[in-house]
């Protein structure tokens, strides 16, 4: 069993019952499968399947819709990412390697052609480019990233996938309030507690002080997102954390500060291979880590 720092173990036990804590710890130990989506800007399912089979790469397909009334891109599951990174379809940006959990926020946001969309903390661009593909590359997407190294990585990924996205090297908190968007994705900076596994040196960066620092940033970003959202606009708040302090508690606090915002119920249709907990009034989702999914949190707000 993975050895967690005492403070982290106590944090989990304070939030979840023993059964859930055990599931989380087992999830941390799981050998996570590699998943990727087809980049429909450049390719299609048939081309990807032909390339996989010509390279004798074993795969499984998930082609069931995960969110009601939203077309889920075809998702391929591999045992690892070693062989796929050598292929033509990978090098030409026709696929994007992305964990299943990371694909969920854009699905719940459901970007459409011509909508004004903001990705507030966008690098490395997986969700950003997914939104571009979902909107047939015709949404007006603005992506913010304050870190220049991460911005360069995002620009590389965007160019590789042929996505039409306007990128800004800026902290989204500093955006002018007169800007308004139909939809906003805030995949907030977080502790990354949902991504722990026994191959990462998580003890070096995942500390109690980081948790305290991160929640302050998340609250500021979420309040800013609400200011930038048009009336009747939709906002997805997500983290790759399983700490309630970064998730439901942030949502509850910000809703209490903004009477013009409401929480909208979300759900995952196809619950195969997923362990999930409902949060505030059964409206928010916490995905527990396992071999398919990283630990993740998603909430949807409407102005």
Question: For the segment 154-208, what is each residue's pLDDT rounded down to a tens digit?
Answer: 999 999 999 999 999 999 999 999 999 999 999 999 999 999 986 667 777 888 9
Annotated catalytic residues are 240
Q: Coil, strand or helix: which one is 161?
A: helix
Kind of pairing, strands 34-38 and 75-78?
antiparallel
DSSP 3-state helix, strand, coil percentages of the chain (rounded to 5)?
40, 20, 40
* Confidence (pTM): 0.96
Q: What is the pLDDT of residue 291?
A: 94
Find out whether the peptide bond into 149 is cis, omega within 30 degrees of 0.
no
Integer Cα distance of 193 and 208 in angstroms: 11
Q: What is the pLDDT of residue 203?
A: 76
Give the chain's domains with CATH numbers.
6-32+100-302 (3.40.50.150)
Dihedral sign computed on CA atoms, order 76, 82, 83, 89? positive
Q: What is the pLDDT along the chain (303 residues), one digit of tens a residue?
A: 678 889 999 999 999 999 999 999 999 999 899 999 999 999 999 999 999 999 999 999 988 889 999 989 899 999 888 899 999 999 999 999 999 999 999 999 999 999 999 999 999 999 999 999 999 999 999 999 999 999 999 999 999 999 999 999 999 999 999 999 999 999 999 999 999 986 667 777 888 999 999 999 999 999 999 999 999 999 999 999 999 999 999 999 999 999 999 999 999 998 888 999 999 999 999 999 999 999 999 999 999
Token duo for residue 241: 């954390």
Q: Where are the beta strands (DSSP E) in the chain?
A: 34-38, 60-62, 75-78, 95-97, 116-119, 140-144, 165-168, 181-187, 229-239, 262-264, 275-278, 285-288, 296-302
Exposure string of 265-289, with b = 16+ CB inside 10 Å and e = fewer, is ebebeeeeebbeeebeeebbbbbbb
């Amino acid at each position: 069993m993975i050895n967690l720092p005492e403070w982290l173990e106590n944090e989990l036990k304070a939030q979840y019952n023993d059964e859930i804590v055990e599931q989380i710890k087992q999830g941390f130990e799981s050998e996570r499968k590699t998943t990727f989506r087809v980049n429909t800007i450049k390719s299609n399912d048939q081309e990807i399947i032909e390339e996989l089979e010509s390279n004798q790469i074993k795969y499984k397909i998930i082609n069931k819709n995960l969110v009601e009334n939203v077309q889920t891109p075809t998702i391929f599951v591999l045992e690892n990412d070693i062989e796929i990174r050598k292929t033509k379809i990978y090098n030409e940006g026709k696929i994007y390697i992305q964990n299943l959990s990371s694909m969920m926020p854009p699905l719940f946001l459901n970007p459409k052609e011509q909508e004004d969309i903001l990705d507030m903390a966008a690098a490395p661009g997986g969700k950003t480019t997914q939104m571009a593909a979902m909107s047939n590359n015709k949404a007006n997407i603005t992506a913010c990233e304050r870190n220049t190294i991460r911005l360069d990585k995002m620009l590389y990924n965007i160019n590789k996938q042929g996505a039409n996205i306007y990128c800004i090297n800026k902290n989204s908190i500093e955006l002018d309030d007169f800007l308004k968007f139909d939809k906003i994705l805030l995949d907030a900076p977080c502790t990354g507690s949902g991504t722990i596994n026994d191959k990462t040196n998580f003890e070096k960066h995942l500390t109690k002080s980081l948790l305290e620092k991160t929640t302050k940033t998340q609250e500021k970003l979420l309040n800013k997102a609400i200011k930038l959202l048009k009336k009747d606009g939709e906002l997805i708040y997500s983290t790759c954390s399983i700490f309630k302090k970064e998730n439901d508690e942030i949502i509850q606090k910000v809703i209490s500060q903004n009477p013009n915002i409401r929480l909208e119920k979300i759900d995952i249709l196809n619950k195969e291979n997923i362990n999930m907990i409902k949060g505030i009034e059964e409206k928010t989702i916490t995905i527990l880590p396992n071999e398919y999914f990283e630990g993740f949190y998603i909430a949807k707000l409407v102005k």
